Structure 1
Amino acid sequence: MGNLNSKRMRFFMALNAVIIITFIYASFSMKEIVPRRHVHSVRGFPMHHRIEQNIASKINSRNSSKNQGSTIGNNQHTGSSKKPERKAVSLLHSNIEAFPSISADSNELPEIVDIKTIMEIQPTVSSTTGRGSSSEQTSNGSSALPVLTPVLTMTLYEPGHLNEEIDIKRICMHRGVFLRLLILITSAQSHFSARMSIRQTWMHYGSRRDVGMAFVLGRTTNVALNESLNKENYIYGDMIRGNFIDSYFNLTLKTISMLEWADTHCPSAKFILKTDDDMFINVPKLLGFIDARYKSERAIYGRLAKNWKPVRAGRSKYYVSHKLYTGLQYPPFTTGPAYLLTGDIVHELYVESLNTFYMHLEDVFITGIVARTLKIKRVEANAFRNSRIALSPCKIRNVISVHMIKPSEQYHLWRDLLDSTIKFEPHSILQ
């Protein structure tokens, strides 16, 4: 009887031990599988910790499988040129605070962008698909996020440039003391053909002692594209690259980067033209325009837009929420494809823009809102067309800027501009 009781006691002790061990093991497992509930903060913008975990795990798996990475600035990113291009993601929807959703089961990982492009990330995130696209995109076709609530630009902008291969002495010798005109051309990173067509046509005027020219770009997280840009800049030395992800919603950051570079490296330039890589610029006509206004101060010249109202349709890439801009119409501004700044306002525009609430419409922001605060004149100049016009030699010779020009068309316009044998019909000359 005593022996039976002893066996029962040993059995129950063993059973209790198994139960305790099982309970302890389950407790430790739950700590690993239950996500934390608190919200993680990145530079003041909230993001679920689970999203960060998923991104980190996918980065690690990609790194281990491809063993490929790129260091850009102070941040490491990964990318692959063999990855098929995905359609652009529209992030502006009337009732959606949009950010690409990331699930643990998904095989797709959006391009990992610099933390400064995470402008506004809401606790609830959704995946959206849009019809619109931009000529300025990140390397895999996905747009950077728009600002959805007011935030000072200085919290988004990272100063500095990747200037290792820039030929500053050729672009702006002696900090612009002898420079009548500095032309800075904003360009999308993948637009190599556009840059080459400009280099081989009207950018030849940059060889003049009194004219400087350069392209302005942002960062890319695509390794192959970044290497291509490094090689291109090693050859030509004319690409200013700022510390922001190149995308449509970062166009204002690109223009601020342009202002910072001009203010830092070329503060004595008399005039600065901001233009895009799909523009034809009649440089002789522009130099004549400058000569007639050489004593001008604190002014912006271009195609003046008056009484323009904010677009409130959520699917438009020009959408601006009531939170970002409460007014019924924008202040007068010069349209973005090309406008001319007097050199004495560059520093003020740069500093004031950082202390102004961000808006991705760079022409409205810089030449409208910021310029109005600084009491800078915006002056209508009819020679800035900033639109597609008939590309006849007579009309081209009488304008400063023409928009929506294909790389192949740059050569034809350049030839027509220089060909002195072309005879004009009096009625065809643009007044």
Structure 2
Amino acid sequence: MALKMVVDNCPNVKYLVKVDDDTFVNTPNLKKFLDQYDQNYGNSSNLLCNTMEYSPALRDGRWKVSVEMFPEEYYPKYCSGYFIIYPMAAISAIYRESQNENVKFLWVDDAFVSGVLAGKARINHTSIRKLSLNYVDITKFMEDFKEFGGRPFLVGRMNLNTEDLKKLWAFLKDHVPKTNILERLELHNL
């Protein structure tokens, strides 16, 4: 578990950014965002992510979970796992909960780690949905950026192919949005 590695080996880090390999991360904006976030909300232990609410525990198909494993109808609020920013306070608290022998394991890791364990650790979530380019066509984004001055974002949509990742990176090197990135953060429970 990455959280254990961070707790054991990197106790002085401020954040852990968990990203899937098919997801574009706007690293210059991420650095700027984390600096601004730290200045304004440095003591927050909230997970920063695209939140999933009222997601049903599926009883058949690929994501099947038995009633014995997870009896509730819906998962607790959790993070879509393709991009999550964990503050160190959250990492420590979630890891501690994972070591509790009374916590029942759930194989759906996003719901388990950022939902069940985070809930037991009393860690809240802050949505970064407005800082994500989910389901946006990359070409349309670039056209709109040129016309409207762009919108700041941290993470591009998932499932991008290598060509789209390269195209987006090349574009962003020359096109920097002028907006304050924190203005797009959905501030709840900070």
TM-score by length of 2: 0.78
Q: Percent identity?
A: 21
Q: Please list the CA deviations of residues 107-157 of structure 1 after superposition, one character each: whole Å capped at 9, or x if unmatched.
A: xxxxxxxxxxxxxxxxxxxxxxxxxxxxxxxxxxxxxxxxxxxxxxxxxxx
Report Cα offsets for 1:403-422 as digits up to 9, x if no partner: 111122221111011024x9
Q: Distance in 2 between matches of 1:365 and 1:349?
A: 10
Matched, 1:290 2:34: yes
| CA positional deviation for 1:382 | 2.3
**How far did residue 384 of structure 1 move?**
4.4
Comparing 350-359 with 409-418, greater Cα deviation is found at 350-359
Query: Matched residue of 2:86: which SS?
Result: strand
Question: After the TM superposition, which residues 289-328 of structure 1 pair with which residues of structure 2 at under 5 Å, given as runs?
Answer: 289-294=33-38, 295-313=42-60, 316-328=61-73
Rate the CA distance shift 1:258–1:396 in 2: closer, same or farther, 3 A: farther
Separation in structure 2 between the aligned mates of residue 396 and residue 317 of structure 1, nearest angstrom: 38
Residue of structure 2 equivalent to 1:263: 7
Query: Which of 152, 166, 176 lines up with 1:411 in the alignment?
Result: 166
AA in 1 matched with 2:29: K
Aligned to 1:368: 115
Structure 1 residue runs without a partner (length 5+): 1-256, 425-430
Code of the residue aligned with 2:8 in structure 1: it is: T
Work out which of the two has the higher radius of gyration on C-alpha atoms and give 1 or 2: 1
Report if the CA contact (8 A) 1:396-1:417 is conserved.
no
- Equivalent of 1:388, from 135, 139, 161? 135
- Is 2:131–2:152's contact at 8 Å kept on the other side of the alignment? no
The secondary structure found in structure 2 opposite 1:379 is strand
Once residues 48 and 68 of structure 2 are traced to their aligned partners in structure 1, the CA distance between those partners, rounded to angstroms, is 30
Alignment partner of 2:132: what SS? coil
Aligned residue for 1:226? none
Change (3 A) 1:322 1:280: same
CA RMSD of aligned residues (A): 2.2
- Greater RCO, CA 8 A, separation 6+: 2
**Separation in structure 1 between the aligned mates of residue 69 and residue 119 of structure 2, nearest angstrom:** 17
1:339 aligned to 2:84?
A: yes
Structure 1-normalised TM-score?
A: 0.36
State whether residues 263 and 346 of structure 1, in contact with CA within 8 Å, keep that contact through their aligned partners in structure 2: yes
Contact 1:338–1:386 at 8 Å: present in 2 too? no
Number of equivalent positions? 165
